[in-house]
Amino acid sequence: MAVSNVALIASSEGPMSGDLFDDRNAFSKSLTSEIVIALCGPMGTPLHEVAQTFQKLLLSNDFGYEEVVILKLSDEIRRIKGLQNEKSIEKLIEAGNELRQEYGNAVLSRLAIQDILLSRTKHQDEADNKLREENPEADPSLTMPRAPRRCCHIIDSVKHIDELQLLRSVYGDMLHVVGVYSPIDMRIERLEKRKGPDDQIHRLIDRDSGEEVDYGQSVEETFPLSDFFLRVDSATDSQRNTRVRRFLELMLGTNIITPTINERAMYAAFSAARNSACLSRQVGAAITNEEGEILATGWNDVPRAFGGLYQTVDQNSSRDDDRRCWNMDGGHCYNDEEKTLIANAMVDRLIENGLVAEESRSKAFTMIRKDSQLKSLIEFSRAVHAEMHALLTAGETKGSQIRRGKLFVTTYPCHSCARHLVAAGIKEVFFLEPYRKSLATKLHSDSITERESDEAKVRLMPFDGVAPSRFLKFFSSHPSGRKDGNGKMHVREASPVTSITLEAIHTLEAFALRALQSRGLNK
Beta-sheet strand order (sheet of 428-433): 294-299, 284-288, 406-411, 428-433, 458-462, 448-449
Q: What is the largest CA-CA distance in the chain?
A: 94
Q: What is the mean pLDDT of the chain?
A: 86
Average pLDDT over residues 421-431: 96
pLDDT of amino acid 298: 97
Is the pLDDT at 291 greater than 70, yes or no?
Answer: yes
Mean pLDDT, range 157-186, rounded to an integer: 92
CA dihedral 239, 228, 473, 253 (to 10 degrees): -30
Sorting pLDDT into bands at 50, 70 and 90, what band is 425? very high
pLDDT recorded at residue 27: 62
**Contact indicator for 36, 175 with CB cutoff of 8 Å:** yes
Answer yes or no: are the C-beta atoms of 71 and 153 closer than 8 Å. Answer: yes
Does residue 2 have a pLDDT over 80? no
Where do the DSSP E strands lie in 262-402? 284-288, 294-299
The two beta strands, 406-411 and 284-288, are antiparallel
Q: Which of 52, 90, 104, 59 is nearest to 205 (CA)?
A: 90
Please check whether residue 43 is in contact with residue 208, taking contact to mean a CB–CB distance below 8 angstroms: yes
pLDDT tens digits along 502-513: 888 988 999 999
User: Is the Cβ–Cβ distance between 73 and 155 less than 8 Å?
Assistant: yes
Q: What share of the chain is helix, strand, coil (3-state, %, to 5)?
A: 45, 15, 40
| Mean pLDDT of the 447-455 span | 85
CA–CA separation, 367 and 259 (whole Å): 48
**Cα dist. 164→47, 107, 156, 168 in Å?**
16, 11, 12, 6
**336-365 average pLDDT score:** 92
Contacts of residue 39, Cβ cutoff 8 Å, sequence gap at least 6: 47, 50, 51, 154, 155, 156, 157, 158, 177, 178, 180
State pTM to two decimals: 0.84
Relative to beta strand 294-299, strand 284-288 is antiparallel
Is the four-CA dihedral 72, 76, 79, 85 of positive or negative sign? negative
Q: What is the predicted pLDDT for the residue at 518?
A: 82
Distance CA 332, CA 326 (A): 6
DSSP 88-151: -HHHHHHHHHHHHHHH-TTHHHHHHHHHHHHHHHHHHHHHHHHHHHH-TTS-TTSPPPP----E
- The residues, ordered by sequence, that sit 6+ positions from 406 with a Cβ below 8 Å of its Cβ are 262, 265, 287, 288, 292, 426, 427, 428, 429, 430
**pLDDT at residue 375, as a whole number:** 82
Residue 429: phi, psi to the nearest 5? -125, 130
Instruction: Characterize 415-452 residue by residue with b for buried, 16 or more Cβ atoms within 10 angstroms of its Cβ, and e for exposed.
Output: bbbbbebbebebbbbbbbbbbeebebbeebeebbbbeb
- Residue 20 banded pLDDT, cuts 50, 70, 90: very low
Distance between CA atoms of residues 94 and 360, nearest Å? 35
- Can you tell me whether residue 337 is helix, strand or coil? helix
DSSP type of residue 494: P
Cα distances from 49 to residues 67, 78, 115, 136, 234, in angstroms, run 18, 20, 21, 46, 12
Q: Round to whole Å and give the CA distance between 450 and 338.
A: 32
| pLDDT reading at 392 higher than 90 | yes
Instruction: Say if residue 1's pLDDT is above 50.
Output: no
CA 513 to chain centre: 23
- CA dist., res. 406 & res. 421, Å (int): 10
Report the SS3 class of residue 378. coil
What is the DSSP annotation of 230-260?
EE--S--HHHHHHHHHHHHHHHHT-S-----
Q: CA 56, CA 58: separation in Å to the nearest integer?
A: 6
- 92-144 pLDDT, tens digit per residue, is 989 999 999 999 999 999 999 999 999 999 998 888 888 888 888 777 766 66
pLDDT at 480 over 70: no
C-beta separation of 487 from 245 below 8 A: no
- As a whole number of angstroms, the distance between CA 501 and CA 80 comes to 33
